[in-house]
Structure 1
């Protein structure tokens, strides 16, 4: 079973937009009510058997069962009679809202932290239509239950053989831009890409965003810093407006639009860089970075702006889409080891050149780390017996760069030239 997500921009009219915003306010109310029931049931079981609290007591019978997902879902029809405004929202949208709460609860029970929190106004930015009997997309409109037909920018068609499984409606820039994430699925089975062709290792950094083992590199665009002056100006204007007024809301929309523009530029750069890497090699190795740890150091602002975690996730997706093998390796000591003789060469962050006193190998620090990443990646695949394994896959899907573009046996190696990055 193959499942993919396609994101499209939609353009609801004023009435539809007002209704969508009302749904965004109703869903967190249902979420908070269900969470309140869950917390009250848990608190009523904390009291000791032989005594009760002198301050307050939860009047919940001892034989009352746990408010599970199915119990709270079955109580929705009763809640609609008591609160008529719930009937305006599609029933399955409310069910998925409760499902979201219990998914968070189950994750908390599993890892022991991250108890579900109440949702404030504006924190709910999406809701889901979990199933459709027929294809909701007809031409350049999408039909949403109880909302009606909404114009959609269908910039790429749904591939043949796929059907729409669910649709998630997203709100962006304080409810001024709307998107739908269409989940499509097919019975086609696509195997993982084998280890084949030309292999490269990549090293991520702040001096250079990316350095490859073939000596090519990509400079780091400073997305936030390049637009920080305009962002500060918009934030200063917003802070001088009376909170809650129309001018304040307009100023907040301008700030949100600027953040959205920065995020779009960063994501576009990551996707283009990932595709350029796939043009140059059929096997790519990268460091398994501790992304959370990088956001806590003295260079956290630059690390967050570079978004290494997002780049690695997008690169893994692009590699799967284009049939390129992608794997992560242990990052410990990649910049402190000579890739030529494997000797330990200790150096601080201020030293940007690698010079091995054992063998005399001299190169840029990031290039040496990329070569070490490549060596570790090849060592891992050889030890696992993956090198040289070939699979044949003939799957043609429109809109996803043909998943079999680089798959199959007998793919010749391409010449290694310096990419036009």
Structure 2
């Protein structure tokens, strides 16, 4: 079973936007009510039998079962009689809201932290229609239950053999832009991409966004920092408005639109860079970075602006779509090891050149790390017996072959120095 997500922009009218916003206000209320039941049941059973809690707690009978997903879902028809406004929302949308809470609860039990929190006003940005009897997309409109037909920008068609499984409605820029994430599935099975063809290792950094083992490199655009002055000006204007007024809301929309533009530019750069890598090679190895740790250091603003985690995720998706093998390796010590003789060469962050005192190999620090990533990746695939013959394995999906603007675009940026091995 193959499942994918396609994102499209939709253009609801004023009445439909009002209805969608009211649903996004109702769903958090259902979420918080179900969470309150869950917390009350836990609080009534966390104290010892021979003493009472110092804080006031609800007394729930001992034979009362745990408020599971199915119990709270079955209580929704009773809640609609008590609260008639719940009937305006599609029933399955409310069910998926309860499911969302219990998915968070189950994830909390597995990892031991991250207890579900109450949702404030405006925190719910999406809701889900979990199933459709017929295909909701008809031409350039999508039919949403209880909402009606909404114009959609179908910039790429649904591939043949796929059917729509569910649709998630997203609100962006404080409810001024709307998107749908269409989940499609097919019965076909796509085999894993084997290791084949030419292989490279890539190193991600802040001086250069990407450096490959074949000396190809990509400079790092500073998306946030380049627009930080404009964003600061918009935020200062918003702070001077009276909170809750119409002018304040307009100023907040301008700030949200600027953040949305920065995120779109960053994602576009990541996708184009991933496609450029797939045009060059058939096997890519990258470092398995601790992205969360990078966002807590001294250079956290630059690391968040570069978004290494998003780039690795998008690169993995593009490689799967393009039939390119992608794997991550252990990043420990890649910049402190000589790729020529594998001797340990300690150097601080201020040292940007690798010079091995053992073998005399000299190159850029990031290039040496990329060569070390390539060596570790080849060691892993050889030890696992994955290295095979070269093959052409691609899935016939829309957008895979529309890459003529990247192919034959010229010679990539290269350094001068020792040729790549």
TM range (shorter): over 0.9
Query: Structure 1, residues 270-326: CA drift from partner, whole Å, max 9, x if none?
Result: 000000000000000000111011111110100000000000000000000000000
Query: Structure 1, residues 56-86: CA drift from partner, whole Å, max 9, x if none?
Result: 3423111000000000000000000000000
Q: 1: CA distance between counterparts of 2:71 and 2:357?
A: 69
Contact 2:291 2:308 in 1 (8 A): yes
Contact 2:93 2:130 in 1 (8 A): yes
Query: Structure 1, residues 84-115: CA drift from partner, whole Å, max 9, x if none?
Result: 00000000000000000000000111111110
* 1:393 CA drift (Å): 5.5
- Worse-superposed segment, 394-403 or 314-323: 394-403
Structure 2 CA distance for partners of 1:414 and 1:174, relative to 1, 3 Å: closer
Contact 1:207 1:220 in 2 (8 A): yes
Q: TM-score, normalised by structure 2?
A: 0.94
* 1:48 CA drift (Å): 1.7
Q: 2: CA distance between counterparts of 1:366 and 1:410?
A: 23
Contact 1:395 1:403 in 2 (8 A): no
What is the aligned partner in structure 2 of residue 391 from structure 1?
Answer: 391
Structure 2 CA distance for partners of 1:221 and 1:55, relative to 1, 3 Å: closer
What is the aligned partner in structure 2 of residue 65 from structure 1?
Answer: 65
* 1:416 CA drift (Å): 15
Q: 1: CA distance between counterparts of 2:325 and 2:343?
A: 29
* 1:46 CA drift (Å): 1.5
Query: Structure 1, residues 168-217: CA drift from partner, whole Å, max 9, x if none?
Result: 00000000000000000000100111000000000000000000001110
Contact 1:393 1:404 in 2 (8 A): no
SS of structure 1 residue aligned to 2:142: strand
Structure 2 CA distance for partners of 1:392 and 1:362, relative to 1, 3 Å: closer
Q: 1: CA distance between counterparts of 2:213 and 2:159?
A: 36
Q: 2: CA distance between counterparts of 1:26 and 1:275?
A: 41
Report the count of equivalent residues.
421
Contact 1:391 1:408 in 2 (8 A): no
Structure 2 CA distance for partners of 1:333 and 1:8, relative to 1, 3 Å: same
SS of structure 1 residue aligned to 2:371: helix
SS of structure 1 residue aligned to 2:21: helix
Q: 1: CA distance between counterparts of 2:311 and 2:282?
A: 18
SS of structure 2 residue aligned to 1:157: coil
Q: 1: CA distance between counterparts of 2:169 and 2:197?
A: 41
Q: TM-score, normalised by structure 1?
A: 0.94
Q: 2: CA distance between counterparts of 1:185 and 1:210?
A: 34
Contact 2:323 2:395 in 1 (8 A): no
Q: 2: CA distance between counterparts of 1:103 and 1:416?
A: 53
* 1:412 CA drift (Å): 21
SS of structure 2 residue aligned to 1:48: coil
Q: 1: CA distance between counterparts of 2:132 and 2:331?
A: 45
SS of structure 1 residue aligned to 2:397: coil
Contact 1:223 1:266 in 2 (8 A): yes
Query: Structure 1, residues 322-364: CA drift from partner, whole Å, max 9, x if none?
Result: 0000000111111111101111111111111111111111111
Contact 1:202 1:284 in 2 (8 A): yes
Structure 2 CA distance for partners of 1:53 and 1:165, relative to 1, 3 Å: same
Query: Structure 1, residues 363-401: CA drift from partner, whole Å, max 9, x if none?
Result: 111001100100110011001000115677575333444
Structure 2 CA distance for partners of 1:408 and 1:191, relative to 1, 3 Å: farther
What is the aligned partner in structure 2 of residue 301 from structure 1?
Answer: 301
- Worse-superposed segment, 355-364 or 175-184: 355-364
Contact 1:285 1:327 in 2 (8 A): yes
Structure 2 CA distance for partners of 1:308 and 1:406, relative to 1, 3 Å: closer
Structure 2 CA distance for partners of 1:417 and 1:134, relative to 1, 3 Å: farther
* 1:53 CA drift (Å): 3.9
Structure 2 CA distance for partners of 1:30 and 1:420, relative to 1, 3 Å: farther
What is the aligned partner in structure 2 of residue 188 from structure 1?
Answer: 188
Contact 1:338 1:345 in 2 (8 A): yes
Q: 2: CA distance between counterparts of 1:362 and 1:306?
A: 27
Contact 1:287 1:331 in 2 (8 A): yes
What is the aligned partner in structure 2 of residue 417 from structure 1?
Answer: 417
Contact 1:6 1:181 in 2 (8 A): yes
SS of structure 2 residue aligned to 1:166: strand
* 1:52 CA drift (Å): 2.8
SS of structure 1 residue aligned to 2:3: strand
Gaps of 5+ in 2: none
Structure 2 CA distance for partners of 1:260 and 1:404, relative to 1, 3 Å: closer
Contact 2:238 2:252 in 1 (8 A): yes
Query: Structure 1, residues 222-265: CA drift from partner, whole Å, max 9, x if none?
Result: 00010001000000000000000000000000000000000000
